[in-house]
Amino acid sequence: MTADPLRVALAGLGTVGGGVVRLLDANRELIERRAGRAIEIVAVSARDRSKDRGVDIARFAWVDDTARLAGHPDIDVVVELIGGSDGPALALARATLEAGKSLITANKALLAHHGLELAEAAEAAGVALKFEAAVAGGVPVIKGLRDGAAANRIDRVYGILNGTCNFILTKMEAEGRDFADVLAEAQALGFAEADPSFDIDGVDAAHKLSILASLSFGTRPAFADVQSSGIRQILAADIAEAAALGYRVRLVGVAEAGPNGLFQRVHPHLVAADDPLAHVSGALNAVVAEGNFVGRLLFQGAGAGDGPTASAVVADLIDIARGEFGPPYAMPAASLSALAPADSGERRGRAYLRFMVADKVGVLAEIAAAMRDAGVSIESLMQRGANGDGSVLVAIVTHEGPERAVAHALDKLRGSSSLAGDPLWMHIL
């Protein structure tokens, strides 16, 4: 090889950063042939220099102050693998682009909050901003949408975007285990965010959905408009009820763009057992995009973990080594349109509603009356015998109808002395 190597600064040497070092070591020769030049890590930074990371980092220059990596004279590209929407990750990202260096990040929180600003800065500096690993880990969905499907109008994109939640839900399904017990296992496997509430409360999936929506629809990233909830309140009993009805429970993000505006939502859904998303298990992710010429595309694979995520980061490095830059959001940032958020009350669908209720006379009548008064038509209703605490599970599946009506029915019931805790509402995909 005669071309100069691509010189890389790596910020963050945790799960993903360690994976990147290992991958570049393991596949060095192949990567060099594919990239047309060597890709060399020159400098690294993290919090604790003395930590044993299971990889040899003594061969790289160590920089204490992460933000200073951007000004390092011997680097072409900074890879940000620290995490967090602000703080050191944002400071480094800004400093990198200001210094006229390309930036790769796996940080969906950073992009959800500051993606537009960073894309503008990258375009102004004529450098690359790449983030394949930020959505669906090792699955090349960013490239798929930005490049492969670039000729299509995409009106809908949806999928399973959080490996931790999918791991938990499918373990609960297979083993009948409790939520908290399985969460600890997902954390130990390195899938979960530093703050795992981002995973289980749907925030991480919302970050990713806002990136996908922007790429798919040519709209400005609008994370603040994503409606989201997570999986904390899902009981093993909900998963069993769903199975009895022919469904599986998955945390699904859905985004649509149309005349009513931009709709973005992440919620647990009931997914029919024969839907491809129902077969996505463990830490796998899947994204479906519907293009007006290509039809339905399904991207699926490992959504988290060191190896798959490093695979996506290094793919971005190879792109930059080849000189493949291109606008981060598939079109210049100035061309991205601002679409108002759509009103979800207008949407129609079927719903699974679960109530924990007191085992006393009139409770079912009260729930049925709230449904009737709000105009919600009940397709089926199940009641299961008393739990240890005396509460009873009531699960309702509604006929298709406006979401506003379901919201009204639940509002009427909220605070009722007949209910033990908040009702659970899951949309049926």
Q: Which residues bind ligand NDP (CB under 6 A)?
A: 12-17, 45-48, 51, 66, 81-83, 88, 106-107, 133, 137, 190-191, 193-194, 304-305, 309
Q: Which residue is nearest to ligand NDP (CB)?
A: 14
324, amino acid identity: E
Quick one: 102 or 309, whose CB is closer to ligand NDP? 309
Q: Choose from ligand NDP, ligand HSE, none: what does 66 bind? Cβ within 5-8 Å by kind.
A: ligand NDP
- Closest distance to ligand HSE from the beta carbon of 109 (Å): 10
Whether 208 is catalytic is yes
- Closest distance to ligand NDP from the beta carbon of 235 (Å): 27
What CA–CA distances, in Å, run from 310 to 72, 82, 128, 158, 367? 23, 13, 18, 24, 50
Quick one: 304 or 339, whose CB is closer to ligand HSE? 304
Query: If you ran DSSP here, which 8-state letter would residue 340 be given?
Result: P
Query: If you ran DSSP here, which 8-state letter would residue 337 be given?
Result: B
177, amino acid identity: R
Quick one: 90 or 289, whose CB is closer to ligand NDP? 90
Say how far apart CA 134 and CA 85 lie, in whole Å: 12
326, amino acid identity: G
Quick one: 71 or 349, whose CB is closer to ligand NDP? 71
Q: What DSSP letter does each residue of 348-387 carry, written as one string?
A: EE-EEEEEEEESSTTHHHHHHHHHHHHTPPEEEEEEE---
- Closest distance to ligand HSE from the beta carbon of 303 (Å): 5
Q: Choose from ligand HSE, ligand NDP, none: what does 164 bind? Cβ within 5-8 Å by kind.
A: ligand HSE
Q: How far apart are the two ends of the chain, measured CA to CA in Å?
A: 52
Q: Choose from ligand NDP, ligand HSE, none: what does 230 bind? Cβ within 5-8 Å by kind.
A: none
Q: Choose from ligand HSE, ligand NDP, none: what does 97 bind? Cβ within 5-8 Å by kind.
A: none
The residue annotated as part of the active site, out of 108, 143, 208, 412, is: 208
Quick one: 31 or 136, whose CB is closer to ligand HSE? 136
Long-range CB contacts for residues 20-28, cutoff 8 Å, separation at least 24: 20/79, 20/81, 20/310, 20/313, 20/314, 21/53, 21/55, 21/57, 22/55, 22/306, 22/310, 23/307, 23/310, 23/311, 23/314, 24/314, 25/55, 27/314
- Contact indicator for 420, 358 with CB cutoff of 8 Å: yes
Q: Choose from ligand NDP, ligand HSE, none: what does 12 bind? Cβ within 5-8 Å by kind.
A: ligand NDP
- Contact indicator for 77, 320 with CB cutoff of 8 Å: yes
Say how far apart CA 218 and CA 334 lie, in whole Å: 10
Quick one: 192 or 270, whose CB is closer to ligand NDP? 192
- Closest distance to ligand NDP from the beta carbon of 149 (Å): 22
Give the interface with ligand HSE as residue ranges (CB under 6 A). 137, 162-164, 191-193, 199, 204, 303-304
- Closest distance to ligand HSE from the beta carbon of 186 (Å): 7
Instruction: Determine how many CB atoms are found less than 10 A away from the CB of residue 86.
Output: 11
- Closest distance to ligand NDP from the beta carbon of 212 (Å): 14
Q: Choose from ligand NDP, ligand HSE, none: what does 199 bind? Cβ within 5-8 Å by kind.
A: ligand HSE
- Contact indicator for 328, 131 with CB cutoff of 8 Å: yes
Q: Which positions are catalytic? A: 208
